[in-house]
Amino acid sequence: MTKEQKIKSFDPNSIGDTTAGMFGLPFTIEECETVLIPVPWEVTVSYGGGTVNGPKAIHEASYQVDLYDPNLKDAWKLGIGMDKENKTIRSKSTTLRKKAEAIIDAMASGKDISKNKTHQKSAKEIQEGCLWLNKTVKERVTHFLNQKKIVGLIGGDHSTPLGMMQALADKFGKFGVLQLDAHADLRIAYEGFEFSHASIMYNALKIKEVNKLIQVGIRDFCQEELDVIKNEKGRVVTFFDRDMKHAMYRGDSWDRVCNRIVKELPDRIYLSFDIDALDPKLCPNTGTPVAGGMEAEQVLFLIEKVVKSGKQIIAFDINEVAPARGNDWNENVAARLLYRIANLVALSNGKKA
C-alpha cells in the first residue's frame, strides 16, 4: 500500500493503534517526513536517573495523543516515525553508568579519585564511551539528513545531542542553538566528565559553526557558567527565568519577551529542549527538577513565534524525560509537546500536509 493509499484509509479521529508507528500513524520510516532518533543514554547524570527509558516511554505515550494541530492542517499526513533503538547504546549506558556512579560517590565523599587506579580506568572508559556515542549519533543523524528527513533526537540525558549538532554543522554550516532549559549546561567537564549532561552547551560552543547560543528559562547555574556567558562576548545570550518573570510581574508580556528572544536568533536554528525547562509540576520525575519554569503553552507560543518570523528550525531534540513507575505523566506531557513541536519544525521547513 502506498503512502497516499494509507492516508485515504486512515482515520485520524479513531483510537491510537498501538500496533502501528509513532502516534498510531500507519507510515513506515521511509514514508515519514520527520524521523525521531531514540538515544537511551544517561551515563553522567548527577542527580535523578531514569532518562534512559525516556524514548521508549514517550513512544508508548504517543498513542494517546490526538492528531489535530491548530498550526498545520492535517499535520499527521506528513508522518512522524521513530527509528529503531540502538541496543548497544542502552547496553553501554548501563555498564558505564555504574562506573560513573562509583566515581561520583567517591568525589561526593571527598576522596581523591586521581589516586585510585580503578576510578581512573573507569573515567577513561567513560570518555571513550561518550566519544563513541557522539560518533554513533552523528552517523545516524547524517544518514537521515541525506534522505532529506527532518530529524529529531529523543534522549536520554542532555549530553546526547552533541553528535547531532556536529552532523548539522557539516550539513548546514553556521547555525544558532535555541536552548530551553532550567540549567545553563555550561559546566566545564562537570564531575570530571568532559561530556557530562551539564556540559552539553559548553561542548556545543566548541563547534565553530555554532555562531550563537540563546538560552531561555535558565534558573539554576553557577559562577563558572556565568563567566562563560560573559567571556563569549555576545555569542551566548541568556534569558534567565527570574528576569523574564520579574519583567512580566511589572507589566511586561510573554509576547514581548518572545519578540526579544526571536530578535536574537540567527536565520538557522537548532532547537534543544530539556524538559526541565517546564514548571516541574509538568515533569516532576525529570533528572534535576528546579522550581519555576514555563508552562507547556508558553513553550509552544515561543516556537510558534520563531516559525512565524521566517527562521528555519533545522532539527530539534527533547531530553531528560524520566518515566515514573505507576505514573505516566512525564511522558504524557512530553509526547504531546513532541507532536506539536515536530509539526512546527516541519512548518518552518516549508512542509505542508
Phi, psi (rounded to 5 degrees) for 98: -65, -40
**What is the C-alpha separation between 278 and 300, in angstroms, rounded?**
11
Query: How is residue 142 written as a grid cell?
Result: 547524517
Residue 353 inside a domain? The answer is: no
Q: What is the CATH number of the domain that holds 157?
A: 3.40.800.10
CA distances from 315 to 44, 63, 116 (A): 24, 23, 42
Is residue 212 situated within a structural domain? yes
Nearest to 314 by CA among 166, 172, 115, 197: 172
CA distance 351 to 34: 10
With 0-12 / 13-18 / 19 or more C-beta atoms within 10 angstroms meaning exposed / middle / buried, residue 147 is exposed
* Residue ranges of E strands in the chain: 34-39, 80-82, 150-155, 175-180, 210-218, 236-240, 268-274, 312-319
- Specify if 15 maps to a domain: yes
Query: How many angstroms separate the CA atoms of 177 and 232, rounded?
Result: 14
| Segments forming the whole domain that contains residue 182 | 3-348
pLDDT given for residue 112 in this prediction: 82
Residues 6 or more apart whose CB falls under 8 angstroms from that of 135 comprise 163
Looking at residue 190, what is its pLDDT? 75
| 138 assigned to some structural domain | yes
The DSSP code sequence of 186-212 is --SSGGG-TT-GGGHHHHHTTSTTEEE
Asked, as a colleague might, if the bond just before 326 is cis with ω within 30 of 0, I would say no
Q: What is the pLDDT of residue 351?
A: 95
Amino acid at 320: E
User: What is the full per-residue pLDDT of the chain (353 aa) written as tens digits?
Assistant: 999 999 999 999 999 999 999 999 999 999 999 999 999 999 988 666 899 999 999 999 999 999 999 999 999 999 999 999 999 999 999 999 999 999 888 887 888 888 889 989 999 999 999 999 999 999 999 999 999 999 999 999 999 999 999 999 999 999 999 999 999 999 998 777 899 999 999 999 999 999 999 999 999 999 999 999 999 999 999 999 999 999 999 999 999 999 999 999 999 999 999 999 999 999 999 988 999 999 999 999 999 999 999 999 999 999 999 998 888 999 999 999 999 999 999 999 999 98
Quick one: pLDDT at residue 105? 85
User: What distance in Å separates the CA atoms of residue 48 and residue 252, rounded to the nearest whole number?
Assistant: 35
Task: Find, among 76, 77, 71, the residue nearest to 306 by Cα.
Answer: 71
Amino acid at 48: G
Radius of gyration of the chain (CA): 20
221: in domain: yes
Cα dihedral value 33, 155, 279, 349, nearest 10: -20
Count structural domains, the chain: 1
What count of Cα atoms within 13 Å lies in the side-chain half-sphere of residue 281?
5
In a domain, 322, yes or no: yes
Render pLDDT for 167-199 as a digit per residue (tens, 0 to 9).
999 999 999 999 999 999 999 987 778 999 999
